[in-house]
């Protein structure tokens, strides 16, 4: 579970503890290169937090290039960064941040309250409308204070502004106005621990230490992020010493790393939840509109065998799309593997011989999970054709509602809470939803204004119960994300932030030589 801190206590903390932890490393000049093999392509849009949706993958870069007012760190989910403090008024109508004095962008310009305001107004990711609909005014009364005035008390302001969107990652107003959006993506400037050096699409991204970073100079001089989509190729590169860290090492490859004396298998236990979506469940002409068919799909999956084969058993079997480490999680019953009952339900629904269910759409980096699921479903009579698509294109197609026929394999490791996860996937107007249920929409609207913690918890639990009872989704697992480090990697910073599945903080990375 993620260590929890109250809003007041967590954001009243100063950065003194962080400075103390980094003082020794800051004294030495950065040195060496860490080469990282990443499992997905790196689009230029990920250089710009204003584009960030409710998915975690872009933060693989965000933590290196940029800095936020408040962000998830090893010390807590809402650790002060460019802001020294945050204060919410007793009535919940105002949130005041005090800007830290001293931090600069990579071009030497100071980070100002105008940059904070500009960043918020420029943000156009998945929750932009939600944020703006709830905020009456954003004020900068002096050079250090930023005040958000809400239209009414909104308990999830911090969850959306800080945890699950890019609106809190501060960008340079003057520079962006000078070079434009396209220019910024070609040569991004941030306030983070690493500066942009070069980018070869589909090949590699090169970053260099920002020695003026306010927390202290990073330990590693240069980071090279190489795009290596093939699992086996990433491991070969690690064995040869061509890379120092490899993302996403699974199945037999993970077992091989575990047996190795030179390589180290590393685990982030609270990773993404993966689940199946049924975009046709609201179409009365589709088999998926019948709850018995969706229940049959859930019973057809051999969860434990899939987990063992693909992830050495490190993932957690679950029947909730909300992961266990997020606030307001409801502990759902564990799923059951019962293919005979699955076929019985299909027969009761009018499909005694099964049916052709269309396509199984998935992100190509988790095509092996998709293949295992398709095989299990086919054995029960639900016949699908696997369609694996590169992650960026897959996410775009999902959001554009292009995958209308069959099953979509979804996944998310975004931070936040149960409400942010539901807002993204389970509401009628959610970015990744093909439909919804009025009772869920109504309960969500109620919880968003409920300031009593016990009542709000009950409302969010009720939503998750309805999702489970309707088999709105079929969760597959909560991923135990396995990666591998080579002998030169002293500190990979992988799994250091609870619930965050990539390397961070970047300033603590360390390599030999």
pLDDT beyond 70 at 5: no
Is 148 within the bounds of a domain? no
pLDDT at residue number 113 = 98
Burial 301-325 (b: 16+ CB within 10 A, else e): bbbeebbeebbbebbbbbbbbbbbb
pLDDT at residue number 8 = 38
Is 142 within the bounds of a domain? no
Is 199 within the bounds of a domain? no
Look over the chain and give the mean of its residue pLDDT values, rounded to a whole number. 93
pLDDT at residue number 207 = 98
310 and 353 share one domain: yes
Paired strand residues for 96: 87, 147
pLDDT beyond 90 at 333: yes
283 and 367 share one domain: yes
Is 194 within the bounds of a domain? no
Q: Pinpoint the alpha helices (H) of 1-99.
A: 7-12, 16-27, 59-65
Q: Which of 361, 368, 362 is nearest to 231 (CA)?
A: 368
pLDDT beyond 50 at 2: no
pLDDT at residue number 27 = 58
Please list, in sequence order, all residues whose beta carbon lies within 8 angstroms of the beta carbon of residue 27, skipping any fewer than 6 positions away: none
Q: Which of 474, 407, 398, 389 is nearest to 433 (CA)?
A: 398
Give 222-261 pLDDT, tens digit per residue.
Answer: 999 999 999 999 999 999 999 999 999 999 999 999 999 9
Q: 17 or 97: whose pLDDT is higher?
A: 97
pLDDT at residue number 488 = 97
User: What is the signed CA dihedral for 39, 45, 51, 55, rounded to 10 degrees?
Assistant: -10
Give 11-49 pLDDT, tens digit per residue.
Answer: 444 444 444 444 444 458 999 999 999 999 999 999 999
Rounded percentage of the chain residues whose pLDDT exceeds 90:
91
Question: How many independent structural domains does the chain possess?
Answer: 2
Give 113-138 pLDDT, tens digit per residue.
Answer: 999 999 999 999 889 999 999 999 99
Q: CA–CA separation, 500 vs 478, rounded Å?
A: 13
48 and 170 share one domain: yes
pLDDT at residue number 375 = 98
Three-state DSSP class for residue 26: helix
380 and 317 share one domain: yes
pLDDT at residue number 240 = 97
pLDDT at residue number 459 = 98
Cα-based angle 99, 104, 106 (whole degrees, multiple of 5):
145
**Is the CB of residue 406 less than 8 Å from the CB of residue 422?**
no
Count of helix runs (H) and strand runs (E) in the chain: 17, 20
pLDDT at residue number 16 = 42
308 and 181 share one domain: no
301 and 180 share one domain: no
Please list, in sequence order, all residues whose beta carbon lies within 8 angstroms of the beta carbon of residue 322, skipping any fewer than 6 positions away: 273, 328, 329, 330, 418, 421, 422, 464
487 and 413 share one domain: no
CATH code for the domain of 372: 3.10.105.10
453 and 502 share one domain: no
* Domain that includes residue 176, residue range: 7-67+102-134+164-189+481-511
289 and 402 share one domain: yes
Q: CA–CA separation, 381 vs 379, rounded Å?
A: 6
Q: CA–CA separation, 232 vs 230, rounded Å?
A: 6
pLDDT at residue number 20 = 43
Is 240 within the bounds of a domain? no
108 and 168 share one domain: yes
Is 410 within the bounds of a domain? yes
Give 355-385 pLDDT, tens digit per residue.
Answer: 999 999 999 999 999 999 999 999 999 999 9
Give 151-166 pLDDT, tens digit per residue.
Answer: 999 999 999 999 889 9
Rounded percentage of the chain residues whose pLDDT exceeds 70:
95
**Is the CB of residue 240 less than 8 Å from the CB of residue 486?**
no
20 and 126 share one domain: yes
Cis-peptide into 372, omega within 30 deg: no
Tokens of 328: 């307001």
Q: CA–CA separation, 218 vs 26, rounded Å?
A: 7
Is 404 within the bounds of a domain? yes
174 and 296 share one domain: no
The CA-to-CA distance between both ends of the chain, in Å, stands at: 36
Is 234 within the bounds of a domain? no
């Amino acid at each position: 579970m993620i260590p929890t801190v109250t809003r007041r206590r967590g954001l009243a903390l100063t950065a003194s503890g962080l400075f103390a932890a980094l003082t020794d490393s800051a004294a030495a000049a950065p040195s060496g290169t860490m080469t990282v093999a990443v499992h997905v392509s790196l689009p230029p849009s990920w250089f710009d937090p204003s584009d960030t949706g409710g998915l975690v993958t872009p933060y693989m870069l965000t933590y290196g290039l940029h800095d936020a007012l408040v962000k998830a760190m090893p010390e807590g989910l809402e650790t002060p960064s460019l802001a020294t403090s945050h204060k919410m008024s007793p009535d919940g109508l105002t949130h005041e941040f005090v800007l830290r004095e001293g931090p600069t962008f990579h071009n030497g310009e100071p980070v100002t309250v105008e940059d904070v305001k500009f960043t918020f107004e420029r943000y156009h990711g998945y929750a932009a409308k939600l944020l703006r609909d709830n905020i009456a005014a954003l004020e900068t009364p002096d050079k250090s204070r930023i005040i958000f005035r809400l239209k009414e008390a909104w308990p999830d302001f911090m969850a959306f502004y800080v945890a699950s969107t890019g609106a809190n990652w501060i960008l340079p107003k003057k520079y962006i106005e000078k070079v434009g959006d396209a220019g910024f993506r070609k040569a991004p400037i941030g306030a983070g621990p690493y500066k942009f050096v070069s980018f070869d699409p589909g090949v590699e991204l090169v970053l260099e230490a920002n020695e003026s970073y306010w927390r202290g100079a990073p330990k590693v001089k240069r980071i090279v992020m190489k795009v290596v989509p093939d699992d086996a190729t990433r491991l070969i590169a690690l064995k040869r010493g061509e890379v120092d860290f490899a993302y996403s090492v699974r199945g037999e490859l993970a077992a091989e790393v575990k047996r190795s004396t030179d390589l180290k298998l590393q685990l982030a236990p609270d990773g993404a939840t993966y689940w199946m979506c049924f975009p046709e469940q609201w179409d009365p002409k589709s088999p998926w509109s019948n709850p018995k068919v969706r229940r049959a799909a859930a019973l057809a999956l051999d969860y434990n065998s899939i987990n063992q084969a693909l992830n050495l058993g490190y993932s957690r079997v679950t029947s909730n799309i909300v992961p266990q480490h997020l606030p307001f999680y409801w502990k759902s019953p564990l799923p059951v593997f019962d293919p005979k009952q699955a076929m019985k339900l299909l027969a009761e629904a009018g499909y005694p011989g099964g049916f052709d269910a269309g396509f199984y759409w998935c992100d190509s980096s988790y095509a092996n999970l998709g293949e295992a699921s398709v095989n299990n479903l086919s054995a029960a009579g639900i016949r699908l054709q696997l369609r694996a698509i590169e992650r960026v294109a897959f996410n775009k197609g999902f959001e554009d509602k292009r995958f209308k026929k069959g099953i979509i394999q979804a996944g998310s490791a975004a931070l936040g809470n149960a409400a942010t996860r539901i807002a993204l996937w389970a509401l009628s107007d959610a970015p990744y939803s093909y439909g919804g249920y009025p009772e869920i929409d109504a309960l969500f609207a109620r919880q968003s204004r409920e300031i009593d913690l016990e009542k709000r918890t009950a409302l969010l639990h009720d939503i998750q119960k309805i999702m489970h009872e309707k088999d709105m989704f079929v969760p597959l697992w909560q991923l135990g994300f396995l990666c591998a480090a080579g002998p030169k990697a002293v500190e990979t910073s992988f799994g250091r932030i609870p619930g965050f599945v990539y390397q961070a903080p970047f300033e603590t990375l360390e390599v030999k030589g």
